Amino acid sequence: EIVLTQSPATLSLSPGERATLSCRASQSVGSYLAWYQQKPGQAPRLLIYDASNRATGIPARFSGSGSGTDFTLTISSLEPEDFAVYYCQQRNNWPPYTFGQGTKLEIK
Amino acid sequence: EVQLVESGGVVVQPGGSLRLSCTASGFTFDDYTMHWVRQAPGKGLEWVSLISWDGRSTYYADSVKGRFTISRDNSKNSLYLQMNSLRTEDTALYYCAKDSNRQQLVLVPDYWGQGTLVTVSS
């Protein structure tokens, strides 16, 4: 089973700042990595698939990069609605497909 | 608009059984692989099971294999999860989710329901 490790566990930033979230895989997942956003009391929302492709309706301030074992989700300029928990997910080696433990992005 | 509505979550005793349902609308249900993903209170996401668009292929996480059964009724646009021999560690919010591409096992859930809460407790 591939383990995804996200860092940091919590990221404290202010609106307008740039956010950089990391996801590291225990073995290569190629480009088969997705990112999800989850706000309190809500279902997860797909942001990025296959490492760098934005899902339908996702603003351009969200971007993904990386391949192999190291991936990054970048939010170029934080909006108030971006403060949430973010999860990465791999689908290269399954079953099972797996999620990271999450990074909480909080307002500083 | 894609909508997924889960139901069936209740409080059940350890060793008990439960059947979750998910009713889909807004897309051609029988074209898409469907997933169950759970989230224990205050914890992260865990994939549970998936079923192909035609129901011919099913997969399970090791933690539920042999206890849970996924199924679908394409005539009713419905997905199910039969949960037997429930354990306290099965306590979670169970989400139904739709895969992103037609007639493929892509494993990128792009739409999720709001979840149904299963509590296993004596």
> What contacts B56, CB < 8 A, 6 or more positions away?
none
CB A4 within 8 A of CB A94: no
Cβ within 8 Å, pair B45-A97: no
Paired tokens of B10: 């209740």
> Which one of B4, B106, B108, B112 makes the best mutation probe of the A interface by having the most chain A beta carbons within 10 Å?
B108
CA distance A101 to chain B (A): 5
Instruction: Identify the band that residue B106 occupies on the pLDDT scale cut at 50, 70 and 90.
Output: confident
Burial of A67 (0-12, 13-18, 19+ CB in 10 A): middle
CA distance A76 to chain B (A): 23
What does the pLDDT average to over B101-111?
A: 91
CB B79 within 8 A of CB B70: yes
Burial of B117 (0-12, 13-18, 19+ CB in 10 A): middle
Instruction: Identify the band that residue B115 occupies on the pLDDT scale cut at 50, 70 and 90.
Output: very high
What does the pLDDT average to over B74-99?
A: 98
Residue A93 has pLDDT above 90, yes or no: no
For chain A, counts of helices (H) and of strands (E): 0, 11
What does the pLDDT average to over B61-84?
A: 98
Q: Could you read off the pLDDT of B14-26 as tens digits, one per residue?
A: 999 999 999 999 9
